[in-house]
């Protein structure tokens, strides 16, 4: 498999698509090296604060689903944080023609705090062409759910969505 090459798992709507994300959700980046350092630092602080919050409230007998949601968010955030911290130390830089290799001679491509997060799931559920009558975008290619994501991103998203759906119940009981 090469970077950007798709390996079909379930037809055209679920594929493995290896990519290294330098930033945060949906590949957004800010502030170059300083921004990357701040992002990884924020991730570390958020994981620590969320872990502390779960531990503190576990003794208050919260609803199980509340703890499950927070734990999903914590696990996903911790997974992405580990990639940000250590991936650059452990792997060589990938190229469009060759995937990264582990423990390369001479060390990895980036120091601590500056690693990329590996994303690999791609689910373009709808892939079509927009009707020509739509202003400004008519005739353009349209892909519903274009982002490439990983298991950690999925855990965070599921935890947040469930929490938002049942928001009042979670917070009212605490």
Residue 165: pLDDT above 90? Answer: no
The whole-number average pLDDT for the span 3-29 is 78
**Tens digit of pLDDT for each residue in 84-102?**
999 999 999 888 777 788 9
Residue 174: pLDDT above 60? Answer: no
For residue 122, give every residue at least 6 positions away whose Cβ sits within 8 Å of its Cβ, in sequence order, or none.
6, 14, 15, 16, 17, 148
Quote the crossing angle between the two packed helices 32-58 and 64-90, to the nearest 10°. 150
DSSP bridge partners of 15: 8, 122
Residue 166: pLDDT above 90? Answer: no
Catalytic positions are 119, 153
Of 6-10, 88-92, 136-140, 170-174, the range with the lowest mean pLDDT is: 170-174
**Tens digit of pLDDT for each residue in 125-153?**
888 999 999 999 889 999 888 888 999 99
Q: What percent of the chain has pLDDT over 90?
A: 42
């Amino acid at each position: 498999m090469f970077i950007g090459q798709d390996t079909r798992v379930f037809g055209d709507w679920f594929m493995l698509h290896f990519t290294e994300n330098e930033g945060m959700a949906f590949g957004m980046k800010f502030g170059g090296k300083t921004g990357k350092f701040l992002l990884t630092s924020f991730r570390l602080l958020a994981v620590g604060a969320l872990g502390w919050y779960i531990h503190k409230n576990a003794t208050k007998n919260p609803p199980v689903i509340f703890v499950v949601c927070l734990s999903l968010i914590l696990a996903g955030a911790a997974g992405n944080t580990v990639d940000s911290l250590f991936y650059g130390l452990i792997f060589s830089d990938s190229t469009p023609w060759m995937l990264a290799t582990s423990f390369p001679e001479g060390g990895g491509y980036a120091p601590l705090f500056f690693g990329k997060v590996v994303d690999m799931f791609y689910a373009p559920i709808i892939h079509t062409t927009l009707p020509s009558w739509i202003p400004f975008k008519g005739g353009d290619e349209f892909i519903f759910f274009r982002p490439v994501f990983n298991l950690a991103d999925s855990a965070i998203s599921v935890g947040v969505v469930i929490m938002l759906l049942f928001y009042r119940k979670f917070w009212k009981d605490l």
